[in-house]
A = this chain, B = another copy of it.
């Protein structure tokens, strides 16, 4: 037992996991959440909000012993199921045989982590306490309760795990040499629902992530265990078509019918839902440093909110926790060293997954529907099968290779892009892609590029 105390602001998945990790290292942890406890009050209003979990995330959950239990409540998605405008469908596997990303209930995983946290004698959880202020010199925090009482909490250290809109981060604006940015994407989103069949089965193929790629916008659907799908429509905030331009009911109906004809029979009141809901913004957060005075740190979305197009947000936050876990041991609880090592190790990876996630919007919404893109993916997959030592596809590096840091995946991915641009420029590649000479050329180019572009 170290006897030292931590305040963790934010009882979401990352804050809960962090608390567990700190407690198991012997720290006394207060875990403070602003919203009510979802295990007692339904704050999700019957909506299933799901997120993608993949190998990086599973590794973290397994480490604390809840991986198997969480996996039981999750649905593996082995491929992208791509819905054309004409209703025609195609499949694009995510990786090799058996590789899957998992559709996980955000609320479910959060509750499981909270249950696990509360089993730790070193953790006390608090709900409906909103952070009002933090003293970055002393890590003392002030919270306000529902009844407007103020509570001042002293601790040796504090972490802001309070998400994309982190109050801890916003309170740090203006601190000495703190660089920060919050940048809105052109797209916003709303969530829609596909209900289950009367018998509880799924109305679309269950083990797939469904995509309706329409270039400037797209609809996606992730399966839930109860037979429903949670769908997300990503669409520009302004321009045409956009949330701003689609205000008339008839125009919204025409938009859905023209673009998502095959989904119209499945979606639950898409037009009404579109008319009623306010589109949520997508934004990126980029800050540095991730710690202040070696007393207060930022973690998860609070440090690096990204866009959801790679399904890596929670995975990345869990990886932050895993890194800290290792560093606490490595630096023997010396937080002067741990904070510095943590932010230096994780910042390049946060930047890399932010960049990769931004790029993946184009890949999902535009390229997924492009026949040449699908050929490219097939060539890559085949080459990777022949020469796994030379080529792991970018998607697999990011999603199925927790030992490859995001920053390294980005670097190698850029080399692969340069190589594949040359390959796709070969005349007749559309029909010849399966010929042996393509593999030979790819072998030569890859060997050359990997050698020269370190």
Interface residue? A173 (CB, 8 A)? yes
Tell me which of A71-79, A180-188, A264-272, A359-367 binds B. A180-188
- Interface positions, chain A 277-307, Cβ under 8 Å from B, are 281, 283, 286
Q: Min CB distance, A290 to chain B, in Å? A: 14
Q: Min CB distance, A345 to chain B, in Å? A: 18
Interface residue? A179 (CB, 8 A)? yes
Interface residue? A177 (CB, 8 A)? yes
Interface residue? A237 (CB, 8 A)? yes
Per the bound structure, the CA–CA distance linking A281 and B180 in Å amounts to: 15
A183 neighbours in B (Cβ, 8 Å): 179, 181
Name A's interface SS: strand
- Interface positions, chain A 173-216, Cβ under 8 Å from B, are 173-174, 177-184
Q: Min CB distance, A41 to chain B, in Å? A: 27
Which residue of chain B has the shortest Cβ distance to A281 in the bound complex? Answer: B177
Which residue of chain B has the shortest Cβ distance to A170 in the bound complex? Answer: B173
**B181 and A180 contacting across the interface, CB-CB below 8 Å:** yes
A177 neighbours in B (Cβ, 8 Å): 184, 237, 281
A173 neighbours in B (Cβ, 8 Å): 170, 173, 182
- Interface positions, chain A 145-195, Cβ under 8 Å from B, are 170, 173-174, 177-184
Are A181 and B181 CB-contacts (below 8 A) given A173-B170, A173-B173? yes
**B281 and A181 contacting across the interface, CB-CB below 8 Å:** no
A178 neighbours in B (Cβ, 8 Å): 184
Q: Min CB distance, A393 to chain B, in Å? A: 32
Per the bound structure, the CA–CA distance linking A177 and B188 in Å amounts to: 10
Which residue of chain B has the shortest Cβ distance to A238 in the bound complex? Answer: B177
**B179 and A182 contacting across the interface, CB-CB below 8 Å:** yes
Per the bound structure, the CA–CA distance linking A170 and B174 in Å amounts to: 10
| Other-chain residue from B179, B184, B281, B283 in contact with A184 (beta carbon distance below 8 A) | B179
**A182 and B184 contacting across the interface, CB-CB below 8 Å:** no
A281 neighbours in B (Cβ, 8 Å): 177
Per the bound structure, the CA–CA distance linking A286 and B182 in Å amounts to: 10
**B182 and A180 contacting across the interface, CB-CB below 8 Å:** yes
A286 neighbours in B (Cβ, 8 Å): 181
Q: Min CB distance, A428 to chain B, in Å? A: 27
Per the bound structure, the CA–CA distance linking A179 and B184 in Å amounts to: 6
A182 neighbours in B (Cβ, 8 Å): 173, 179-181
Per the bound structure, the CA–CA distance linking A67 and B22 in Å amounts to: 64
Q: Min CB distance, A217 to chain B, in Å? A: 17
A283 neighbours in B (Cβ, 8 Å): 179
Per the bound structure, the CA–CA distance linking A178 and B173 in Å amounts to: 15
A180 neighbours in B (Cβ, 8 Å): 181-182
A170 neighbours in B (Cβ, 8 Å): 173-174
- Interface positions, chain A 206-239, Cβ under 8 Å from B, are 237
Partner-B contacts on A (CB < 8 A): 170, 173-174, 177-184, 237, 281, 283, 286
Q: A178-B184, A179-B283 are in contact. List 5 more A-B contacts (CB 8 A).
A: A170-B173, A177-B281, A179-B181, A179-B183, A181-B182
Which 4 pairs, one residue from A and one from B, show the smallest C-beta to C-beta distance?
A: A181-B181, A179-B183, A177-B184, A179-B184
A-B contact pairs, 9 of them (CB 8 A): A170-B173, A170-B174, A173-B182, A177-B184, A177-B281, A178-B184, A180-B181, A181-B181, A181-B183
